[in-house]
Amino acid sequence: MSRLWDIRKKNATIIMNLKEMCPDGKIPAGTLIAGREGITDQLKQFLLMKELDENNEKWKGPRKYTMD
């Protein structure tokens, strides 16, 4: 348990950035146990998904889907 607190204290800014990207404000389960590498991997994964979804977020037109 003390290891988790040490990881949290040493990586507070990275953890805060990760929390801001998560929709529920919580970091994914098991991230702290993996240490700094796990935290940075999760952050990279969120940034990659954000980059891939950038075109979808720009489009504001009407949806053309039908249920025929």
Instruction: State the first-to-last Cα distance of the chain, in angstroms, to the nearest integer.
Output: 55
Q: What is the pLDDT of residue 67?
A: 60
**Structural tokens at position 60:** 């504001």
Domain count of the chain? Answer: 1
pTM of the entire predicted model = 0.64
Rounded to whole angstroms, the Cα distance separating 64 from 66 reads 7
Q: Residue 6: inside a domain, yes or no?
A: yes
pLDDT at residue 59 above 80? no
Q: Residue 42: inside a domain, yes or no?
A: yes
Q: What is the pLDDT of residue 19?
A: 87
Q: Residue 55: inside a domain, yes or no?
A: no
Average pLDDT over every residue of 56-64: 71
Domain extent at residue 18: 2-50
Closest CA to 6 of 24, 33, 29: 33
| Residue pair 36/12 in contact by the 8 Å Cβ criterion | no
Q: pLDDT digits over 4-48, tens only? A: 888 888 888 888 888 888 888 888 888 888 888 988 999 899 889
Q: Residue 63: inside a domain, yes or no?
A: no
What secondary structure letter does DSSP report for 28? P
